[in-house]
Structure 1
Amino acid sequence: MLASPVALGQDLAALPQQKPFTVTGSVDVRTIFYQARGISARRQPFSYVLSGSPTLNIYGLAVPLSFTLSEQDRQFRQPFNQFGLSPTYKWVTLHGGYRNLTYSPFTLAGHTVLGAGLELTPGKFRFGFITGRLSRATTVDPVSGALTPFSFSRRGVAGHIGVGSEKSFLDLSFVRARDDSSSVSRATRQEASKTSAVNTAVLPAENVVLGLSGKLSFAKNWLVEADGGLSVYTRNQGSRLKVEDALPTAVSNSLGRLITLNGSTETYSAWQAAAGYQKNGNGLKVRYRRVAPGYQSMGAYYFQDDVENLTLVPSFVLLKQHLRFNGSLGVQQDNLRRQKQLTSRRFIASATATVDFTERLGVDLGYSNFSTDQQPGAVQVSDTFRLAQTQQSVSVAPRYTYAGETWGHTVLLSLDRATLRDQGPGGLGRLGDFTSLNAFLTYQLTWVPRRFTVGATYNFTRLELAQGNDGNRGLQLTADQSFGPKGDFRVGLRGSWLRGLRVGQESKLLGGGLRISYRAGKHHTFRTDVAFTGNYPDSETPQLRRYSESRGEVGYTFSL
């Protein structure tokens, strides 16, 4: 669990009026019991979780904390115990422990760092940096338990400097990170190399990324914004191949002080830009994004690389806010360097609309279309193996809501249909064609003076495949009652009966649960929850087995 968001500090002049020390937040403990019959257990029979998000306030200095502890951290495969804090005073923020920060979309973008950092935001100027460990060394695969793939400990530093406000600004950011080749023993690396292919060997890498982000708002409602990144990535620190003489000596010498340059060093770029108009919910924006093949930043977990897209994004509000529309229309393609055998081109279209006929009655509409067509690239390929697909989805959700002093009613109907069709010659991919239909009708009744709520939902799901049809249909019921002058004691019941279809065979799916909670004063909440799920096929087969699962939870929350 990552650290909680930063809380703002208060002015030094107000210190005499502040309490010297206060604590807010909550601490929660849960014990979970589990049992399965007829199938392999999906979790441990007993587990516990202790979590909390307290915030210390010392004369207006806010120090938010967060933590999660469980019995699973005794094993390697679940290193979730993390702590962090970000005390803030005026325009100064300190970071310590596990922190998750974003400086730009192409440099430090949501990566968790275990370390220390500083943020300064005096007026329109801003400056920040953080240094520490991006990931720790692992010597076993957490899934298979084998020695491959392992990973090195990775450390780095990131920073940004900028000027401006939310409407118009210019930011420069960077990331410099490298793997510690000594963090995994030589014996482990040698053992892993025996079972690894040459092209999948784990090698210590280095990375330097520079990013530039900016936004300009003008004429009140017009804007232009852009982000760019340039990544220099060395895939093997120990490579003996010499880097080609492609850079001027001055540039090579300067860059060589930041990163090891050798034959495994490559440079990648990524950028995106948008321009548009926005006023009172009406607007039009044009977006362009290009990420070169292989683009990486050690300050981000994942990039969809080798992609280029151009998108038109309209939005408007009509009929005195009763009609709201948002859409997206664009084209996308890969194979930017023309090195693949085929180039995939996609047509992308989506739209959502909300119509409020009255204060109580309305409908939500949605549509999306994704068409893919592959064209010959560097190598001519037979049409038999080309991919051409169209995926469409349509959703309609009318709703009715009434909230009175005594009674409340909510009716919601949702219909969602999606299809995938192979448009290519030969039809080899038509085994993957499918049509799915999801529908549910929900009614909820609330008796306001008695704090009583009851609801019923009818579900229908059907998935049509070339191999056969799957789906289920049935009824789910819920009831919730609060007791006491303030509703401190609460009881909830739920039950379901479904008729399922799997691999052409039918079965009954039964479920039920009970949840009880009690709030004792301002600080203490006790709760318990038990649930049961069972699958009972009409005719049991190896693919469709009879089984049941039971789960119980006892929890306590202390609110500060």
Structure 2
Amino acid sequence: MSNRNSGYWCKWILFTITALCGVGSNVHSQNLEAVGKESPLTITGGVSLNQILYAVDGMESRRDPYSYYASGNINFNLYGWSVPLSFTYSNQQGSFQQPFNQYGLHPTYKWVTGHLGYASMNFSPYTLAGHIFLGAGIEARPGKWNVSAMYGRLQKAVEPDSTSEGTVVPAFKRMGYGVKAGYADGNDFVNIIAFRAKDEENSISYVPDGDDILPEENLVLSVAGGKELFSRIVLMAEYAISGITRDTRAPEASLESNKIFDNAGPLFTPRLSSSYYSAFKTGVNYQADAYSIGFGYERIDPGYRTLGAYFFNNDMESITMNTATAFFGGKVNVAANVGVQRDNLDNTKVSTMKRVVGSMNIGYAASERLNFSASYSNFQTFTNIRSQFLDINQLTPYDNLDTLNFTQISQNATLNTNYVLRADKERRQNINLNLTFQDASDQQGGVEQNSGSQFYMANAAYSVSLVPRNLTITGAFNYNENKAATINSMTLGPTLAVSKTLMERKMRVSISTSWNESYTNGDKMSRVANLRVAGGYIIKKKHNFNLSLVTVNRETDSEGGASSFTEFTGTLGYSYSFSSR
């Protein structure tokens, strides 16, 4: 037998063996082309052991005086077929984990990938969107064409249990299948998708009254496409329709509209409990030499659902716009986007919510050493509640126009500056400044409410690294302030840290300390000081020893506040990693 033929048969023998052996957890793709070209089996893993000493004075102990924690993992890899095992053990509890609860094989050969066992696939957000299934699937990309298909169980049957007191929710067995076919050439593409799922009525013995558990059926059809025009404009769109039957035991019905579902044959049976929805999304982007701009629009009918997704947002219409540009030879970069979203598209809800979101990011590289970046975002939510009492009690059409209009406004602004004082073989120095502002406010009937808050944060840091000595020193000052209706709280204080590597960087040591004081409405509430010492040593890149000592001291100045205390935590750890590569 020739080497080519023997290699061919080895690939398919391995594929068959792994398909028969895999029952129960997801693994990475198995590349069948690797057979005979690399080591067939590799073993990797590691173990670690940590011991923790704890002591406290001034308050109730938050943990045991002594505890230990051991963990380990080992992974067997056969031509990409991975079997990971892990364990944890402490003086409080122990556990062992193996992946055979949901196992899946994903063999790959050239442009074909298969899925066997437990798997998930993604056709589009409106059809099959990452739902896990137990079955088989395939994804093939021959040239510019692409074809994907799947078949399997989306939901297993769960029998009712009258003794569970509501903890067990009955469910029908749900089977599904779908196909996606398309052609793509750069930004030009077209995709056609069909997905069907149906519950098996006889998969459970009975359904308790009042549980609202009914056998459903769903058919989703979608077409998506994109086109590039003049090498600068890209158009994209997707349109999907979903027919969903709430109860497959309901009588059949004929449709005057939505004829595509009436003529779907065995794929879908229209019934009196059936409903039909649509979703549409489109966008256009224009890329010029110095700027780009894009628009997007999305509309999803109220009630739109697909059984190929776990969760789905519907009853939504949104319009978005984004743009980006650069000035002064790329030194200044600006990006901005704005969007408007609303619900209650069919005006059947008591309340209507509208959201307006806007943001802007600016970056300025003044020089190789000085950089600025700033951002601003604004999030507004407008809610209108239509109460029946307004119609009953109003005397004129102009009464109570704004009393049930609620507006929530959230703003966020940040500024970051970094300046490199020195950067050479001997020393590296830099200064960093961060400023953050957040504001949240409420309005009712156009009147500002006394329920808003403002948050301010400032951080300034200086760092110097003495390169030949492998020594780094950092000093920082932090300031936080939160202003609310009746409370103004503030925390501020410095931090100092020193770190150094020794013995050709095999050993590292660090020490840091901080001092923070807290105030409420101008009165000092507490002071917190902490000291941290840490060290680590590496032997032959596989053995790692770590030591950490932390002391925290809090002094309380206010009466009736939290008690003063001193707390100590020491951790000694060891870890070992191995590999057969």
- TM bin, normalised by shorter chain, reads 0.7 to 0.9
Match of 1:414 among 411, 429, 434: 434
Quick one: structure 1 residues 4 and 20, their matched pair in 2 at CA, closer, same or farther if it must change by over 3 Å? Answer: closer
Question: Which moves more between the two structures, 540-549 or 387-396?
Answer: 540-549
Give the Cα separation in 1 of the matches to 2:485 and 2:315.
32
- Does 2:391 correspond to 1:391? no
The answer for unaligned runs of 5 or more in structure 2 is 1-24, 391-399
Equivalence for 2:397: none
Quick one: structure 1 residues 323 and 468, their matched pair in 2 at CA, closer, same or farther if it must change by over 3 Å? Answer: same
Q: For 1:293, what is the secondary structure of its paired residue?
A: coil
Equivalence for 1:298: 307
Match of 2:361 among 328, 349, 352: 352
1:316 shift after superposition: 0.7
1:251 shift after superposition: 4.8
1:86 shift after superposition: 3.2
Question: Which moves more between the two structures, 212-221 or 332-341?
Answer: 212-221
State the TM-score, normalized to the length of structure 1: 0.77
Match of 1:499 among 500, 517, 525: 517
Quick one: structure 1 residues 385 and 272, their matched pair in 2 at CA, closer, same or farther if it must change by over 3 Å? Answer: same
Quick one: structure 1 residues 543 and 275, their matched pair in 2 at CA, closer, same or farther if it must change by over 3 Å? Answer: farther
- Does 2:222 correspond to 1:211? yes
1:317 shift after superposition: 1.5
Equivalence for 2:140: 120
Give the Cα separation in 1 of the matches to 2:409 and 2:167.
39
Give the Cα separation in 2 of the matches to 1:155 and 1:232.
16
Counterparts of residues 54-93 of structure 1 (less than 5 Å): 56-57=78-79, 62-63=80-81, 84-93=104-113
CA RMSD of aligned residues (A): 4.5
1:121 shift after superposition: 1.5
User: Is the 1:396–1:414 Cα contact (8 Å) retained in structure 2?
Assistant: yes
In structure 1, give the amino acid aligned to 2:223.
L
Equivalence for 1:338: 347
Question: Which moves more between the two structures, 101-110 or 505-514?
Answer: 505-514
Q: For 2:330, what is the secondary structure of its paired residue?
A: coil
Equivalence for 1:286: 295
Give the Cα separation in 2 of the matches to 1:138 and 1:535.
53
Give the Cα separation in 2 of the matches to 1:155 and 1:558.
43
1:369 shift after superposition: 1.5
State the TM-score, normalized to the length of structure 2: 0.75
- Does 2:241 correspond to 1:230? yes
TM-superposition CA deviations, 1:398-423 (whole Å, max 9, x none) = 11235422222232211111112223
Which entry has the higher C-alpha Rg, 1 or 2? 2
Match of 2:322 among 307, 313, 338: 313
Give the Cα separation in 1 of the matches to 2:153 and 2:223.
24
Counterparts of residues 50-199 of structure 1 (less than 5 Å): 50=72, 56-57=78-79, 62-63=80-81, 84-96=104-116, 99-113=119-133, 115-132=135-152, 134=154, 147-148=166-167, 150=169, 152=171, 156-177=176-197
User: Is the 2:384–2:404 Cα contact (8 Å) retained in structure 1?
Assistant: no
Equivalence for 2:479: 460
Quick one: structure 1 residues 117 and 500, their matched pair in 2 at CA, closer, same or farther if it must change by over 3 Å? Answer: farther
1:293 shift after superposition: 2.2
User: Is the 1:3–1:67 Cα contact (8 Å) retained in structure 2?
Assistant: no
User: Is the 1:137–1:183 Cα contact (8 Å) retained in structure 2?
Assistant: yes
Give the Cα separation in 1 of the matches to 2:202 and 2:46.
39
1:269 shift after superposition: 2.4
TM-superposition CA deviations, 1:164-188 (whole Å, max 9, x none) = 14522222334444567788886xx
TM-superposition CA deviations, 1:361-382 (whole Å, max 9, x none) = 1111101112333346696854
In structure 2, give the amino acid aligned to 1:421.
S
Q: For 1:320, what is the secondary structure of its paired residue?
A: helix
Question: Which moves more between the two structures, 411-420 or 384-393?
Answer: 384-393
TM-superposition CA deviations, 1:200-230 (whole Å, max 9, x none) = 7455544433333322223222101123333
Give the Cα separation in 1 of the matches to 2:565 and 2:233.
61
1:329 shift after superposition: 1.9
User: Is the 2:261–2:269 Cα contact (8 Å) retained in structure 1?
Assistant: no
Equivalence for 2:491: 472
In structure 1, give the amino acid aligned to 2:472.
T
User: Is the 2:51–2:69 Cα contact (8 Å) retained in structure 1?
Assistant: yes
Quick one: structure 1 residues 31 and 403, their matched pair in 2 at CA, closer, same or farther if it must change by over 3 Å? Answer: same
TM-superposition CA deviations, 1:226-266 (whole Å, max 9, x none) = 233333334455xx543654357975566573467544433
In structure 2, give the amino acid aligned to 1:232.
G
User: Is the 2:190–2:223 Cα contact (8 Å) retained in structure 1?
Assistant: yes
User: Is the 2:477–2:493 Cα contact (8 Å) retained in structure 1?
Assistant: yes
Equivalence for 1:447: 466
Give the Cα separation in 2 of the matches to 1:260 and 1:496.
69
Number of residue equivalences: 531
Equivalence for 1:558: 578
Question: Which moves more between the two structures, 342-351 or 321-330?
Answer: 342-351
Equivalence for 2:393: none
User: Is the 1:38–1:545 Cα contact (8 Å) retained in structure 2?
Assistant: no
In structure 2, give the amino acid aligned to 1:164.
A
Counterparts of residues 5-20 of structure 1 (less than 5 Å): 18-20=37-39
Give the Cα separation in 2 of the matches to 1:74 and 1:372.
46
Give the Cα separation in 2 of the matches to 1:404 and 1:259.
71
In structure 2, give the amino acid aligned to 1:312.
M
User: Is the 1:347–1:371 Cα contact (8 Å) retained in structure 2?
Assistant: yes
- Does 2:378 correspond to 1:369? yes
Give the Cα separation in 1 of the matches to 2:61 and 2:178.
48
- Does 2:274 correspond to 1:265? yes
In structure 1, give the amino acid aligned to 2:137.
G
Identity of aligned residues (%): 26
TM-superposition CA deviations, 1:6-48 (whole Å, max 9, x none) = 58776x9xx87x3353648x53555677879748779xx7766
In structure 1, give the amino acid aligned to 2:319.
L
Equivalence for 2:3: none
1:463 shift after superposition: 2.2
Give the Cα separation in 1 of the matches to 2:68 and 2:253.
59
User: Is the 1:416–1:437 Cα contact (8 Å) retained in structure 2?
Assistant: yes
Give the Cα separation in 1 of the matches to 2:362 and 2:376.
9
Equivalence for 2:7: none
Give the Cα separation in 2 of the matches to 1:201 and 1:54.
45
- Does 2:251 correspond to 1:242? yes
Quick one: structure 1 residues 533 and 319, their matched pair in 2 at CA, closer, same or farther if it must change by over 3 Å? Answer: same
1:461 shift after superposition: 2.1
Question: Which moves more between the two structures, 277-286 or 310-319?
Answer: 277-286
1:355 shift after superposition: 0.5
Q: For 2:449, what is the secondary structure of its paired residue?
A: helix
- Does 2:436 correspond to 1:436? no
Give the Cα separation in 2 of the matches to 1:557 and 1:413.
39
Give the Cα separation in 1 of the matches to 2:412 and 2:32.
47
User: Is the 1:3–1:65 Cα contact (8 Å) retained in structure 2?
Assistant: no
